[in-house]
């Protein structure tokens, strides 16, 4: 009789734990770190201040590309060609295909600043070509792809919750007289969500549309404007 009660209690407890694990899987946020390199995983663990074994429980690495189950994607490295292809909507390689599908699914994509390969060659790249690559980088921002540093990412340490977010949303003083869509998109990709402009600054119609679509906050002179309005 005592054995039967013991078995019943164990069974009840196991079923309870299975139910909790199942519920946890439904709410747990998953992040795809697009790499197979151990050193990048170790760098992520160091920068995000998590043990590697815990990080592997919280971030899924390259090789698990069921994108619908992910909340965000981190691209630790992006070659110049890959960046151009993504900006043009061309899918020639795995990274471009991943980005295209993620954008179609409405997933958040983060590219690490230090992983933009073309920036490391600024000193030797022809100025005109470097500017062209910068223009393609701006296009990524227009698509909602955020270029951030490791310090601009953080993991929510609460239990099984795992969230990636850009933490650098500080204000920027912009003294330019003409504010274009490409300029706003560039600042958006760098993590700025509040921008102060001069009283007489001219904001182009396309820039206004971008500001409204991204719900950015524009401060003109000393008077603050509501997000995406009053421009």
| Whether residues 178 and 152 fall in one domain | no
Q: What are phi and psi of 109, to 5 degrees?
A: -120, 130
| Whether residues 200 and 102 fall in one domain | no
Q: Tens place of pLDDT for every residue, the chain, 231 residues?
A: 566 665 667 777 777 666 655 555 444 567 888 988 888 888 888 877 778 877 777 778 876 567 888 888 899 999 999 999 999 999 989 999 999 999 998 888 989 888 999 989 989 999 899 989 988 888 888 788 888 877 767 665 444 444 555 544 556 778 888 988 888 877 776 667 888 888 888 999 999 998 888 888 888 874 444 445 446
Q: CATH number, domain at 158?
A: 3.40.50
> Which residues form the domain of 86?
29-166
Contact 94, 79 (CB under 8 A): no
pTM metric for this prediction: 0.62
> Has residue 23 been placed in a domain?
no
Tokens of 103: 């954008």
Q: What is the pLDDT of residue 165?
A: 54
DSSP 152-187: GEEE--STT---EEE----EEEE--SEE-HHHHHHH
> Has residue 230 been placed in a domain?
no
Q: What is the pLDDT of residue 224?
A: 45
> Has residue 97 been placed in a domain?
yes
Q: What is the pLDDT of residue 26?
A: 45
Q: What is the pLDDT of residue 126?
A: 94
| Whether residues 113 and 73 fall in one domain | yes
Q: What is the pLDDT of residue 116?
A: 92
| Whether residues 80 and 160 fall in one domain | yes
| Whether residues 54 and 161 fall in one domain | yes
| Whether residues 202 and 136 fall in one domain | no
| Whether residues 56 and 143 fall in one domain | yes
> Has residue 58 been placed in a domain?
yes
Structural domains of the chain, count:
2
């Amino acid at each position: 009789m005592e054995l039967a009660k013991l078995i019943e209690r164990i069974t009840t407890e196991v079923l309870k734990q299975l139910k909790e694990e199942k519920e946890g899987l439904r709410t747990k946020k998953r992040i795809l770190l697009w790499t197979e390199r151990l050193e990048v995983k170790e760098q992520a663990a160091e920068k995000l201040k998590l043990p590697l074994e815990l990080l592997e429980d919280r971030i899924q690495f390259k090789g698990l590309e069921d994108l619908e189950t992910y909340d965000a994607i981190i691209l630790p490295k992006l070659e110049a060609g890959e960046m151009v292809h993504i900006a043009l909507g061309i899918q020639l390689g795995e990274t471009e295909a991943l980005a295209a599908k993620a954008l179609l699914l409405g997933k958040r994509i983060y590219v690490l600043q230090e992983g933009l390969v073309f920036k490391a060659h600024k000193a030797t790249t022809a100025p005109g070509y470097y500017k062209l690559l910068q223009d393609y980088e701006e296009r990524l921002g227009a698509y909602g792809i955020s270029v951030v540093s490791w310090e601009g990412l953080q993991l929510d340490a609460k239990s099984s919750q795992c969230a990636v977010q850009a933490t650098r949303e500080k204000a920027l003083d912009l003294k330019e007289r003409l504010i274009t869509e490409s300029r706003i998109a560039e600042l958006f990709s760098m993590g700025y969500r509040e921008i102060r402009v001069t009283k007489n600054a001219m904001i182009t119609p396309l820039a206004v549309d971008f500001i409204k679509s991204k719900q950015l906050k524009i401060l003109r002179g000393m008077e603050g404007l509501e997000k995406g309005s009053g421009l």
